[in-house]
Structure 1
Amino acid sequence: YTGGTTISGGTLIATHVNALGTGAIDNRASLLLDASGQFAVTDLTTESGGNTEIGAGSTLQATTLTQKSDSTLTINLNSNTADPVIHAASQVSLAGTLDITGVGDVLDSDPASTDDLDTFTLIASDKTIAGDFEKLTVAGMDADLADFITVDGRIDDTGKQYELTTALTWYADRDDAVTDAHGTFNLTNADGSFAVNTVLENVDATLDPDSATGWDGTSLIKQGAGTLILNAENTYTVGTTISGGTLVATNVDALGSGDVTDDATLELNTGGTFDNAISGSGQVVKSGDKMLTLSGTNSYSGGTLI
């Protein structure tokens, strides 16, 4: 059909790339494009209060794309970021909120990569993009609050592409620093776990050790009820403090060379000689089938579980 589509209430889900005919689309409510392939439409406008969502594996080819103020464009990413999710042959006008989901699929798409950041084109236009998104969210959460990942969106220097940059915060080259795995992040699920496979590096000259982040580049503080897993051999020197949850070391040198203050749970799932001195009121857990030797002067009082 050629007369266009108006969505005035509820949700319209298109599960075939030709489901919406060939006319213009005026979305005043909720539209989900959810087919494995490319939707081709003339003009797509998301009005104020409306939400247009593009499912993982779906792409959109439009003549014009218009996002009004207070509208939302939700894009579900997958591991294929070689091509733009949206391409407009004529005009792109941006406003409202860009909501991104599926960032983990992008981060996991090349686990062998050593690149700190992954930048790709989300929206491409044959003409200069007008306006910009007023807000960027990750799965509905303000991107600035998603501490364990870095997500940043911007219009590139040509003015014709909207680029998205994603990375793990602890594997992000922040402030052009030549350092990996640094900073502070939170897990929204207090009972969750987070594994760090990269080496924790000391701060360099481009980062201020006295900044408000509280990170001095030589120590590690584990807080909260979740589990943090360190897999790499680290060389930080000032020490490790565990004030909540569980810190798991799967490498005998994961905690650097400083003392460990354990006021929660330290789990050593490794073998070899662990010579860091352990103090505090917490428990030490020896897991795994390897032989572990504790050679430090230890004074922790929470007991030992083998």
Structure 2
Amino acid sequence: MSVFNPYLNVIKKAVQQDPKLRQRLFSAEQEDSAFDTSYIKALRNELPNSKSLNESVSLIKGMGAPVFGDLPELGNHPDFKHLRYTDETEDHWIISGFIDVKDSTKLFNRFTKATVALITEGIVQASIFAVNLCDGYVHRIQGDGLMVYFGGKNKDKTESVKNALKAFAMISYFVKNDLKDFFAANSVTEIFTRAGLDLGHNSQVRWLYSGSGKAGEVTTCSLHTSLAPKMQSNAVSNGIVVGQNMVNLMAIRKYFTEKRNPIWEYGDGRTYSQYDFNWDMYIMDNGLGVQDRYGNIVLTMGNSEPKQSLDKTYLAPIAKLNKPYFCL
């Protein structure tokens, strides 16, 4: 079972029921009002809520699975929300990330906009799930893409780097494998992600409330926040590009290949490098996935180092979904 199956299943149903696809009206410029799209409302309700998310994660990870409640609100990182509506500032390190699904506009050529909206919502919610599962915070939703933060106060910087890499690897896997295979079966090609991640240290990041009144957000002013989307634009299809600061904190460098051109020149002879991140290898080496008999990676999110001992608190969610039996 893939941790993303609850989202993929809803997207599959939306595509399979889409009247424009079923009638093969790909070149017809008809309004959605010409089609019956009443199926969409029911499918939206099938997207995972906190209860189903917790059941899914417990099934995948077993012991020590995190518990999901209310997710943090957008534009309001919990550790810096005290800056909201003030003119105060604070310097603190953070990892900024941008990930976007490219060429998704081509979906409008084959599906009604009601179905496209649900596909987009499924991708966004799956991405939000992955980010929060890996201890990150969604800062902003941009169409079918996200701006996110990893880290904060009382967080270990190296662990936050690993969490950011894991979350973005998961999202990239979902779009490259689960979604792409299904879309390809319906003659939709060239749907892919591109992502950028960079770390700014304490002296390189300023937190502040940007905007006026309710029309604002708690955000960062940092060269490295600005560089993350530039790295995204330099990523290959389904690729992730990360900054030098993140690579410097990783003990194992084999997952990173330096790009020929630096992402930034300081003007005094110094440059700042960017690296392609081999997330496929990272998934395999860190117990996040396995290869099937055909050599394909299957995302498992297995817990290679359980944090909790075996007791009924952690076994109960699994037992509810998988009743044990005894064989002679």
**TM-score (ref. length: structure 2):** 0.24
The higher relative CO (CA closer than 8 Å, separation ≥ 6) is in 2
Q: Which has the higher strand share?
A: 1
**TM-score (ref. length: structure 1):** 0.25
Q: Which has the larger radius of gyration?
A: 1
Q: Which has the higher helix share?
A: 2
